[in-house]
Chain A
């Protein structure tokens, strides 16, 4: 009876498919309640709790508003937010590093202008001035600095330094000697997770800054009076490769992922002695391994290069990392901004300090020596260079990360890497 199909059955089939199509369009329908979606990538250590406590306090005062908090791993977040933006499904509140990527969103009218909120009652005076450079475009502010002040510094295991009688190096030549000593004693000098490429880029950025000063990069990036083929970039690439050849990094660094914490495990276990990383890591370590944080963790700024033009007090990093922006598609921007204010009010600032962070607000007095040292570094720094991969326009940033990883893999010469980056920058400009 193959061909005898009950008509009722056919109708049910059709209705079912229509029903499925119908459901998907109605689920977004308003229930009358206001809601705010908040994405963040504070997945390690005290991070999730810091967000949640602010959200909880906000909800007590605004019970009529639903807040949906979504935590996403750092590297996964970077693509997820892009896809959401392109599809017009951006969350109300989301973190940003500022710089080139944020600018791209601003140009596409995807970001709400927060200037009126920030200037209301001079709210912006609450924050460090340096916190606004990466989120201000054409005089308008597009983000709120909240999480931390993150500077790239060299973390080290104090016990290992003591054991081999090493003091934190002041100059690059001393650093090379430290690397040699550690290597000879069977300890990987640096732990490096270079699969995501940006950790290795920190070495390159510091070398460029110490050799040529911040202008070299600024001019090349802006295409005004400079190029990425400048001898400084070539020399920085050469020095990166010298480090690799000298065995300054643990084996397998180009395949190691950062997010799962492989480099920290190397530090904890004493297999590696140092790591060049953003100071957010001290907060992560405090949450993850308080014992190591209290007894063994030290850090020093990237050493000076004598023959270089850069000021050794210059820092690579970001003040305000991360910033939070509000999407222009957000239906409840006023409430969203109010929620952001909870995330950086006095209670939040205090909790962030306790969690080992340096929130970018004026008058913050940390009680831990580690945080005091971070604060001191940023206050002394004549210039804070934002991470290249955030500063540059996205397509150029990708090429920078690729060439940086290729330098570490010794699969590209410094000249080739410089040329490739310059071509990408030029193409982007056209």
Chain B
């Protein structure tokens, strides 16, 4: 470092700020301002098209607390959180370990397994809607051919099945993402650990549970947090596949918010749902982060 101290100090104070400015402006206009304004809107009655809106006090919030559909949507969100984490994490981990151990031989699969992540969500939604279709889809004939006619179901039209049909697609879409995340971490574990473990006579399984998994604790916590937040504010795939139907069986907070704000012309109430959603996601994310930190402090 040959720069003079004064030069260093000056660029330190102005340049970073200047570089951050575009991003900060962008964040302020497209993130902070909408959040503040939807919190404000949640206290108003507004249909979204008139020039005027009337102050409603806590009315929207009272409606929300008594709104069965909102609670049902929240419950669906929680179901998606649970299944996403319970299915995606182990499968992604398994694939990552497999690809890592397989080395060059499985290189092709590294690319192939990543394909779902490269597709746009809308395309995935349309694709699976076609596959699931009761009349023209590919899944039901396949089930019947395989001698499992009781597995030929109305996957998206049956209120009892729809949510799980969608969860399968969500997993299909996101497992590759976590797989790559885990794989990257696995590859960064020093070779020395592997050599030391094999010298001590550790089996493949022991090496995974005793060496690799503890090393992955940090990335696992990150992945779970991402999955949690993503599942709580999930929207696009559900919207394309079911629009929250049939009769709210796959309704999520985000789809319900969209319908209230844009189909029912209740922008005020839609904002109330959005604000509640924001608060729920915030609390959940902070809790998970706090727990992770506390455990790290505990361990370290």
- Which of A's residues lie within 8 Å of B, judged by CB? 1, 3-5, 10, 13-14, 17, 78-79, 82-83, 85-86, 104-105, 107-110, 194-197, 250-257, 262, 265-266, 271, 393-395, 397-398, 402, 405-406, 408-409, 411-412
Surface stretch bound by A, among B101-109, B187-195, B213-221, B264-272 = B264-272
Closest residue of chain B to A88, judged by CB? B49
| Closest-CB distance, B98 to chain A (whole angstroms) | 35
| Closest-CB distance, A104 to chain B (whole angstroms) | 6
Whether A82 touches B7, Cβ cut-off 8 Å, given contacts A250-B134, A252-B133, A255-B246, is no
- Which of B's residues lie within 8 Å of A, judged by CB? 3, 7-8, 11-12, 15, 18-19, 21-22, 25, 47-51, 129, 132-136, 154-159, 162, 242-243, 245-249, 259, 262-267
Please, could you name 30 A-B residue pairs with CB atoms under 8 Å apart, sorted by A? A3-B7, A3-B8, A3-B11, A4-B7, A5-B11, A13-B19, A17-B25, A82-B49, A82-B262, A82-B263, A85-B49, A104-B265, A110-B49, A251-B157, A252-B154, A252-B156, A253-B157, A254-B157, A254-B246, A255-B134, A255-B155, A255-B246, A257-B129, A395-B265, A398-B263, A405-B247, A406-B246, A408-B246, A409-B246, A411-B249
Measured CA separation A250–B135 after assembly (Å) = 8
Measured CA separation A23–B19 after assembly (Å) = 21
Which residues of chain B have C-beta atoms less than 8 A from A252's C-beta? Answer: 133-135, 154, 156-157
Which residues of chain B have C-beta atoms less than 8 A from A251's C-beta? Answer: 134-135, 154, 157
| Closest-CB distance, B262 to chain A (whole angstroms) | 5
Are the CB atoms of A398 and B264 closer together than 8 Å? yes
Are the CB atoms of B266 and A405 closer together than 8 Å? no
| Closest-CB distance, A215 to chain B (whole angstroms) | 26
Which residues of chain A have C-beta atoms less than 8 A from B7's C-beta? Answer: 3-4
What are the 8 closest A-B residue pairs judged by CB atoms, nearest first?
A252-B134, A255-B157, A255-B156, A406-B247, A254-B157, A395-B264, A254-B246, A252-B154
Are the CB atoms of A17 and B247 closer together than 8 Å? no
Which residues of chain B have C-beta atoms less than 8 A from A79's C-beta? Answer: 262-263
Whether A402 touches B248, Cβ cut-off 8 Å, given contacts A79-B262, A395-B266, is yes
Measured CA separation A280–B92 after assembly (Å) = 49
Are the CB atoms of A108 and B51 closer together than 8 Å? yes
Are the CB atoms of A195 and B49 closer together than 8 Å? no
| Closest-CB distance, A14 to chain B (whole angstroms) | 7
Measured CA separation A262–B8 after assembly (Å) = 68
Q: A10-B15, A104-B47, A265-B136 are in contact. List 15 more A-B contacts (CB 8 A).
A: A3-B3, A3-B11, A3-B12, A4-B11, A17-B21, A79-B262, A109-B50, A256-B157, A262-B133, A266-B135, A395-B265, A405-B245, A409-B159, A409-B246, A411-B159
Are the CB atoms of B3 and A4 closer together than 8 Å? yes
Measured CA separation A262–B126 after assembly (Å) = 14
Closest residue of chain A to B161, judged by CB? A255
Measured CA separation A4–B8 after assembly (Å) = 8
| Closest-CB distance, A311 to chain B (whole angstroms) | 32
Are the CB atoms of A82 and B246 closer together than 8 Å? no
Which residues of chain A have C-beta atoms less than 8 A from B157's C-beta? Answer: 194-195, 251-256
Measured CA separation A196–B259 after assembly (Å) = 13
Which residues of chain B have C-beta atoms less than 8 A from A10's C-beta? Answer: 15, 18-19
Measured CA separation A395–B11 after assembly (Å) = 56
Measured CA separation A430–B81 after assembly (Å) = 38
Which residues of chain B have C-beta atoms less than 8 A from A197's C-beta? Answer: 245
| Closest-CB distance, B133 to chain A (whole angstroms) | 7
Give the one of A1, A79, A255 with max B CB within 10 A.
A255
Measured CA separation A108–B50 after assembly (Å) = 5
Closest residue of chain A to B157, judged by CB? A255
Give the one of A1, A109, A251, A265 with max B CB within 10 A.
A251
Which residues of chain B have C-beta atoms less than 8 A from A256's C-beta? Answer: 133-135, 157
Measured CA separation A59–B3 after assembly (Å) = 67
Measured CA separation A265–B130 after assembly (Å) = 14
Which residues of chain A have C-beta atoms less than 8 A from B262's C-beta? Answer: 79, 82-83
| Closest-CB distance, B21 to chain A (whole angstroms) | 7
Closest residue of chain A to B52, judged by CB? A108
| Closest-CB distance, B250 to chain A (whole angstroms) | 10
